[in-house]
Amino acid sequence: MASETARSHAGVEVRMEELSRRYGPVVALNELTLTMAPGELVALLGPSGCGKTTALRLVAGLEEANSGRVVFGGKDVTGLPASKRDVGMVFQAYSLFPHMTAMQNVAFGLTLRRKTADERLRRAGEMLELVGLSGFADRYASQLSGGQQQRVALARALAIEPTVLLLDEPLSALDAKVRSRLRDEIRRVQLEIGITTLFVTHDQEEALAIADRVGVMNSGHLEQLGPPTEIYSRPATPFVAEFVGLTNRLPGEVKSGVVEVRGTRLPLVQPDAPDGPAIALVRPEAVSLATDGAMSDGPLVGTVIAVAFLGATSRVTVDLGDLTVMAQMPTSTAASTPAGTRVLLALRIDPVLIAREEKASGDA
Amino acid sequence: MNSSQRLKLRVFRIAVLLLMGAFFLLPIGAMLEFSTRGNSVNAPRTLDAWVLIAQTPGLVKGIVTSLQLAVITSLGMLALLLPTMVWVRLRLPQISRIVEFICLLPLTVPAIALVVGLKPLYIWVNINVTPSVLALAFAYLILVLPYSYRSLDAGLAAIDLKTLSEAARSLGAGWITVMWRIVIPNMPSAILNAALLSVALVLGEFTVASLLNFQNLQVEVAYVGLTNAGTSTAVAVGALVLAFVLLMVLTLVGGRLQQQNYIPGQRA
């Protein structure tokens, strides 16, 4: 029942056109342009202060843009206040109205839309069922756990059949297990309803797991926008490479479109990079280890100093003397290289990005 | 904490309670005793002074006037202060210190200085707007600001005003709805406390009314006291008891509202 109601609302295209927001001399958002397809879930990912929440608040109408436009389904909503934008929003902080029950919270937006009591009750009940909280309708916020509160907040946001759903780090106050479960639930509900959704987070795992496309933001602008696999495996900039996933920073020398790292020549993502010293950004899974044979000293021979168990995979940290390098591999493989083992590193010949910092630490 | 320490603490609490109770109740008891004395030394107890309250037109008028002023001042204070404080917290936090300073300023201004400043204004109001004693509510609004500000400020600090108001707005609520449906129901105790402090201050106010030549309850009490000390004292006791009863009622109502908002229960 709930899903039938939900499916009847197709998503709309959402466009942010050259959106800018300044706070005095500080540019929080610098000409952000982003188009979300109907029904798409886009995650904005970035460190604190990168402008991702500002972008979401501009879409919600909770802040005014200095320039640029917000367009929902071809309609310019830039000048509309938050109360007229028809967005559903879930906040980072628990935002249920403490003096209302879960049912009253979910029905609040419907009351403002002058729905009849029957309609309110039916719709709010459907939404609570959608998020799996039918039995909690009469509970107050203080009687619900954090995860349940956020699910009620999601139901409340969806009850008004909004044009777009905005999620402002809705999972960050929750513990890891609840977080992972609720993340999957948000995605399930979003797919079921087909609503265009903007999800803001600083958690890369969350963004990569939930989104159709991920936009990585830095210093107020969008560094890269693409599907999670592309963001992870083909980062467009050194910032994206370092922010998303772990990255080894290996000092090397750029020469004629390749970077030479300790005797290994790796092709560049941008082959036209000028020659000179550079730092190659290499993923841990692009590093493999070998232990066979009597290894002499060499630029890629080192000693395992730590093995971190991550479940199906393990991360092995190798000390090369002047540099530590991380390698990620199946746990069964890592078992053969306990701490203290002498190993030979091999770098996968994949195109890599380079950074140009003066000082290279070598740490990921 | 062991049982001996708990016992000591309990004794200390009871001692403080008795001491404070005596401090507050003894004067009231003395006033009650005085207001029920007969006319001669050995005369029996009488309620003549109390009965005389209803037969003294000035007193009844003073009581009605002060109650009206208390209501107008409380409502005016809430209408002025609550939206202002909400707006400042949400939109202009950088001026919150200035607003706080302005609201606390009346504490530092002696009543006589306030009257000197207000006198020309009241002369103008008397001639051009209204000669009604209810115009005193304007001066009282200033006098209650510091107490009401503190109470409302504590109430606003106790809720996540920004998130709650933004959640309501994203659901389609305008600012009036946000105030009426979200802010006010979530700080009933603070609002009741602010209102109570205003009522208590207005019911007990004498200086400003007297110096501006208005007749409120306390001015009438002082006037009656010149000719009939017993009735004057009876009214004073009545006003104190009224304030006490109001305090109890508001506390009970506030507590009940608070319980409705935060029903303790097992977290699911």
In a domain, B100, yes or no: yes
CB atoms near residue B241 (< 10 Å)? 12
Does this complex have an ipTM over 0.90? no
Average pLDDT over residues B24-30: 90
B258: confidence class by pLDDT, cuts 50, 70, 90? low
Output the average pLDDT for chain A: 88
A292: confidence class by pLDDT, cuts 50, 70, 90? low
Rg (CA), chain A: 24
Q: Which residues contact B165 (CB under 8 A, 6 or more apart)?
A: B86, B90, B178, B182, B183
- The closest alpha carbon to B131, from B46, B239, B214, belongs to B214
Position A293 scores a pLDDT of 55
Average pLDDT over residues B4-18: 93
Check if A60 contacts B (Cβ < 8 Å): yes
Check if A289 contacts B (Cβ < 8 Å): no
* Percent of chain A topping pLDDT 90: 56
Beta bridge partners, B77, equal none
In a domain, B7, yes or no: no
Angstroms from B200 CA to nearest CA on chain A: 28
**Count of alpha carbons within 13 angstroms of residue A261, beta-carbon side:** 30
CB A309 within 8 A of CB A317: no
Using the beta-carbon criterion (under 8 Å), do B163 and A91 form an inter-chain contact?
yes
Check if A144 contacts B (Cβ < 8 Å): yes
Chain A hits for B164, CB-CB cut-off 8 Å, are: 95, 97
Average pLDDT over residues B53-60: 82
Average pLDDT over residues A250-265: 89
Using the beta-carbon criterion (under 8 Å), do A83 and B267 form an inter-chain contact?
no
Position B10 scores a pLDDT of 94
A7: confidence class by pLDDT, cuts 50, 70, 90? very low
**Which of B168, B186, B268 is closest, CB to CB, to A136?**
B268
Position A314 scores a pLDDT of 93
Position B267 scores a pLDDT of 36
CB B98 within 8 A of CB B199: no
Chain A hits for B172, CB-CB cut-off 8 Å, are: 83-84, 86, 109, 112-113, 160
**Which of B167, B174, B181 is closest, CB to CB, to A89?**
B167
- Supply φ then ψ for residue A289, to 5 degrees: -120, 145
In a domain, B149, yes or no: yes
Minimal-distance CA residue of chain A relative to B187: A99
DSSP reduced 3-state for B183: helix
Full domain range(s) for residue B156: 58-261
- Supply φ then ψ for residue A164, to 5 degrees: -140, 145
Check if A108 contacts B (Cβ < 8 Å): yes
CB atoms near residue A20 (< 10 Å)? 19
CA–CA gap between residue B197 and residue B86 (Å, rounded): 20
Using the beta-carbon criterion (under 8 Å), do A89 and B268 form an inter-chain contact?
no
A257: confidence class by pLDDT, cuts 50, 70, 90? confident
CA–CA gap between residue A51 and residue A29 (Å, rounded): 5
Number of compact structural domains in chain B: 1
CA–CA gap between residue B173 and residue B184 (Å, rounded): 14
Query: Residue A134 class from Cβ within 10 Å (0-12 exposed, 13-18 middle, 19+ buried)?
Result: middle
Average pLDDT over residues A168-195: 88
Angstroms from A218 CA to nearest CA on chain B: 25
A360 pLDDT more than 50? no
Angstroms from A83 CA to nearest CA on chain B: 4
- Reported as a single tens digit per residue, the pLDDT across A40-58 is 999 999 999 899 999 999 9
- Reported as a single tens digit per residue, the pLDDT across A211-229 is 999 999 999 999 999 999 9
3-state secondary structure A325-357: EEEEEEHHHHCCCCCCCEEEEEECCCCEEEECC
Mutate to test the interface with B, among A99, A140, A148 (most CBs of B within 10 A): A99
- Reported as a single tens digit per residue, the pLDDT across A166-179 is 999 998 888 888 88
Check if A153 contacts B (Cβ < 8 Å): yes
A357: confidence class by pLDDT, cuts 50, 70, 90? low
Average pLDDT over residues A132-138: 91
Instruction: Name all contacts of A358-363 with Cβ < 8 Å and 24+ positions apart.
Output: A360/A249, A360/A250, A360/A251, A360/A279, A361/A249, A362/A248, A362/A249, A362/A250, A362/A251, A362/A322, A362/A323, A362/A324, A362/A325, A363/A249, A363/A324
Helices (H), B36-93: 48-55, 57-91
3-state secondary structure A247-288: CEEEEEEEECCEEEECCEEEEECCCCCCCEEEEEEECHHHEE
B225 pLDDT more than 90? no
CA–CA gap between residue A158 and residue A7 (Å, rounded): 12
CA–CA gap between residue A211 and residue A197 (Å, rounded): 9
Chain B hits for A132, CB-CB cut-off 8 Å, are: none
In a domain, B96, yes or no: yes
- Supply φ then ψ for residue B45, to 5 degrees: -60, 145
Question: Which residue in this structure is represented by tokens 């977290």?
Answer: B267
- Reported as a single tens digit per residue, the pLDDT across A317-342 is 999 888 899 999 999 988 888 898 88
CATH number of the domain at B89, please: 1.10.3720.10
B223: confidence class by pLDDT, cuts 50, 70, 90? confident
Using the beta-carbon criterion (under 8 Å), do A143 and B265 form an inter-chain contact?
yes
Q: Which residues contact A51 (CB under 8 A, 6 or more apart)?
A: A21, A28, A29, A30, A32, A217, A219, A220, A221
Position B265 scores a pLDDT of 38
In a domain, B29, yes or no: no
Position A290 scores a pLDDT of 85
Check if A160 contacts B (Cβ < 8 Å): yes
Largest CA distance in chain B: 75
Using the beta-carbon criterion (under 8 Å), do A112 and B172 form an inter-chain contact?
yes
Helices (H), chain A: 2-7, 52-60, 102-112, 117-130, 146-159, 176-193, 204-210, 228-233, 238-243, 331-334
A67-72 β-sheet, strand order = A26-36, A14-23, A67-72, A75-76
- DSSP assignments along B127-171, one per residue: HHT---GGGHHHHHHHHHHHHHHHHHHHHHHTS-HHHHHHHHHHT
In a domain, B104, yes or no: yes
The model's pTM is 0.79
Angle (CA) B113-B119-B121 rounded to 5° is 120
- Reported as a single tens digit per residue, the pLDDT across B186-201 is 998 899 889 988 988 9
Structure tokens at B240: 């104190």
**Structural domains in chain A plus CATH codes:** 2-238 (3.40.50.300), 246-355 (2.40.50.100)
Chain A hits for B261, CB-CB cut-off 8 Å, are: 98-99, 140
Query: Which one is predicted more confidently, B40 or B95?
Result: B95
DSSP letter (8 states) at residue A73? T
CB A167 within 8 A of CB A90: yes
CA–CA gap between residue B233 and residue B22 (Å, rounded): 19
Position A348 scores a pLDDT of 87
Question: Which residue in this structure is represented by tokens 């109360």?
Answer: A83
Structure tokens at A312: 């199906």
**Count of alpha carbons within 13 angstroms of residue B236, beta-carbon side:** 24
Position B48 scores a pLDDT of 86
Using the beta-carbon criterion (under 8 Å), do A112 and B171 form an inter-chain contact?
yes
B58 pLDDT more than 50? yes
In a domain, B44, yes or no: no
Amino acid letter, A55: A
B261 pLDDT more than 60? no
Angstroms from A136 CA to nearest CA on chain B: 9
A17: confidence class by pLDDT, cuts 50, 70, 90? very high
Q: Which residues of B sit within 8 Å Cβ distance of A?
A: 159-160, 163-164, 166-174, 177, 181-182, 185-186, 260-268
β-strands A342-347, A287-290: how paired?
antiparallel
A296: confidence class by pLDDT, cuts 50, 70, 90? low
